[in-house]
Amino acid sequence: MKRKILVLLAGLLATSAAGASWWYVRARAAAVEFPTEVLAMLPSDVSVVAYADMAALRNEPLVQRLAALAPPTTQGTDYANFVAATGFEYQRDLDRIVLASSSASTAPVPPAHTLVIADGRFDQEKIEAYALRAGKKETRNGHTVYTTPTATPGKTTAFTFLSAGRLAIADGGDISSVLEQRSLSPADTGLQDQISRVAGAPIFLVARPQAIVSATGGATRVATPLDNLRWVNLAARPDGDKVTLSVEGSCDTPEQAKQIAATLELLKGISGGMLANPKNTGNMPPETAKAISQMIQAAQVSTEASRVRLLMGIDTAALGGAATPSKP
């Protein structure tokens, strides 16, 4: 049973690892364009970039229902104390957020360096005063940088205000890439191209799969056609009870893209058969398993040159009301 569940999970994960350039020509009007000037602030070895346009998503019915499922803020927690001291609440005051994680070093399983750039409404004086309760400030490259200790002994978080409405935060205290404002190099071309293909989506992720595999000790894995992916883009757009998911994988050659497309088609068939067997779905209601199977089978897989694409619609209402909050 455990092996069957792992196979099913592998199929679902692989289905989410392939196509999105169609997003470039549609869906640009509903979300604010990704702030491309941020690219110059990211570390040169960045391997993952995630983006969310919270202002565009805030009024989406599905997002509101999911937010209603979140547990209330508990008094006495770090976040509750931060809200009380600064007046900032991310559900209300955060408009856009960019999260970038740098490539791993050569250590066996090193911690990734993470940088967050957030746009919103901040009370700068209150946030600075809150940081100075346990932290300190210094001047670097003409910027006032605040460093505060984290829950991990010996580690710190650094942040600086780039403007009244933009805040940059870095773990480990290393915020040098933001302060240097480096010029984009030819090595950044690949990242720029990938982001341009999903820049109009309210939620997207761009990643170098091999960097992630290396960081998790993937040298001992069994090789698959998915190893030929050089970049993966994922973009999502909620619309009522539905979510349109688009994923694109970039390879070196058209032949590699076709191999991945064939693998995805095979996994679609396997997952459909497994979901049809109640032994593999545990306590999942039969109608939910059927709905998931239908969504997977309806997913479109295609290739264009060295790119492989997947387009999938997710109907949350058909999944048994999972996104609907329960009654008190």
Sheet of 166-171, strand order: 136-140, 143-149, 156-163, 166-171, 114-120, 94-102, 46-53, 203-207, 231-239, 242-250, 307-315, 300-304
Instruction: Between 326 and 210, name the one with better pLDDT.
Output: 210
Task: Return the structure tokens found at 93.
Answer: 């005051």
Q: What is the number of H-type helices and E-type strands within the chain?
A: 11, 12
Provide the pLDDT for residue 33. Answer: 73
Instruction: Between 44 and 136, name the one with better pLDDT.
Output: 136
Q: Do residues 136 and 122 make contact, with C-beta atoms less than 8 angstroms apart?
A: no
Confidence of residue 81 (pLDDT cuts 50, 70, 90): confident
What is 149-170 written as a DSSP string?
E-SSTT-EEEEEEEETTEEEEE
pLDDT in tens, 150-191: 877 878 899 999 999 999 999 877 888 888 867 776 667 888
Residue for token digits 């030819």? 186
pLDDT in tens, 85-144: 999 988 889 999 999 998 654 444 445 688 999 999 999 999 999 999 989 999 988 889
Q: Do residues 130 and 157 make contact, with C-beta atoms less than 8 angstroms apart?
A: no
Q: Which parts of 164-207 fold into alpha helices (H)?
A: 176-180, 189-196
- Predicted TM-score (pTM) of the model is 0.79
